[in-house]
A = this chain, B = another copy of it.
């Protein structure tokens, strides 16, 4: 299967060019095209806790698309599927710092963990207090191609939104970090691929997935999941919903829980299909006695043009729901303002 051509200029400049585009249509953001750091361009309250995330590019809108009022203060964008280096994370940390300390939201991949840790040490040298929240929400596999322990995936969106609201509200850095660890402990994800994806500049997909098969438990860089199965002739979305919700429920019992739910497209799957999957996911949750408090359906944590979807949930409380509902204004998530 020949890969579809990419709408890029020079594959080697894909991230720089994409950030140039983000800057061109979002004058409210400050975009450093050398360091590949995106930060809020507006004044923040002195002492507000700064929120920083980042990781490899290719997962857009994650993370740069979540920079703005009520969410991240800055994001460090690595090369495609590659951790940002410590200097980038340090630059993002400085851009996010308003004197109240900074929280790093780090997806659990070995490179990200190491580079954020080094950046935190460098920031400490400059008297910026950094707390770290490690996101490891993916129940599909323990230990993977780039990870010791579970991978960080769709649940990252819950963490970034809730902590963004908490930081605006004035919580202290240790409180924001503690809340982040609580949100992580409540978040679970499971993804499925129907096609592979190809990184810019490569002429081969990152992994091999024959048409007619799907990979259950896929990672967001095409890391292997639990198993590969033939795509059934009918009931594909039901099968995906059942597998994902069962895997999550087995790990975190969902009965009687109020949930934030994300039915997330991996990049190449149209919204028509994501809506069908959403119907089946809600039916599966219903059948387990869980309630959908809020839901998002769309492309939020992607893997280039990979076809497939991920189901993420976060068990919630009235306090968490209030933080979820608080105003947010970012390129990819906006309400209340």
**Chain A residues with a Cβ under 8 A of chain B:** 1-11, 14-15, 17-25, 57-58, 60-61, 65, 80, 194-195, 211-212, 214, 231, 234-238, 240, 261, 263, 267-280, 282-283, 292, 295-299, 302, 304-305, 307-309, 329, 331-332, 334-337
Residue ID in chain B nearest A306 by CB atoms: B270
**A and B contact pairs by CB, cutoff 8 A, 24 listed:** A5-B214, A7-B269, A7-B273, A7-B307, A8-B236, A8-B237, A8-B273, A9-B236, A11-B234, A14-B276, A18-B275, A21-B280, A21-B282, A24-B279, A24-B295, A25-B263, A25-B296, A60-B272, A60-B275, A61-B271, A268-B305, A270-B299, A299-B299, A334-B335
CB–CB A237/B9 < 8 A: yes
Question: Which 8 residue pairs across A and B have the least CB separation, nearest first?
Answer: A21-B279, A21-B275, A21-B278, A60-B271, A25-B295, A18-B275, A24-B282, A2-B211
- Taking a contact as CB atoms closer than 8 A, the residue among B20, B211, B231 that contacts A279 in the complex is B20
Which of A267, A276, A282, A296 gathers most chain B CB within 10 Å? A276
How far is the CB of A254 from the nearest CB of chain B, in Å? 16
CB–CB A8/B270 < 8 A: no
- Give the residues in chain B near A58, CB-CB below 8 Å: 270, 272
CB–CB A7/B271 < 8 A: no
- Give the residues in chain B near A57, CB-CB below 8 Å: 272
Residue ID in chain B nearest A302 by CB atoms: B270
Q: What CA separation (Å) do A336 and B328 show in the bound complex?
A: 10
Q: What CA separation (Å) do A5 and B270 show in the bound complex?
A: 12
Q: What CA separation (Å) do A240 and B6 show in the bound complex?
A: 11
- Give the residues in chain B near A236, CB-CB below 8 Å: 5-9
CB–CB A276/B21 < 8 A: yes
Residue ID in chain B nearest A267 by CB atoms: B270
CB–CB B335/A9 < 8 A: no
CB–CB A268/B8 < 8 A: no
Residue ID in chain B nearest A197 by CB atoms: B270
- Taking a contact as CB atoms closer than 8 A, the residue among B14, B231, B268, B278 that contacts A268 in the complex is B268
Q: What CA separation (Å) do A299 and B231 show in the bound complex?
A: 26
- Give the residues in chain B near A295, CB-CB below 8 Å: 24-25
Q: What CA separation (Å) do A297 and B7 show in the bound complex?
A: 14
Q: What CA separation (Å) do A5 and B238 show in the bound complex?
A: 14
Residue ID in chain B nearest A239 by CB atoms: B9
CB–CB B274/A7 < 8 A: yes
Residue ID in chain B nearest A60 by CB atoms: B271
- Taking a contact as CB atoms closer than 8 A, the residue among B194, B235, B337 that contacts A335 in the complex is B337
Residue ID in chain B nearest A11 by CB atoms: B234
If A5-B212, A24-B278 touch, whether A271 touches B17 (CB-CB below 8 Å) is: no
CB–CB A6/B273 < 8 A: yes
How far is the CB of A26 from the nearest CB of chain B, in Å? 8
How far is the CB of A181 from the nearest CB of chain B, in Å? 28
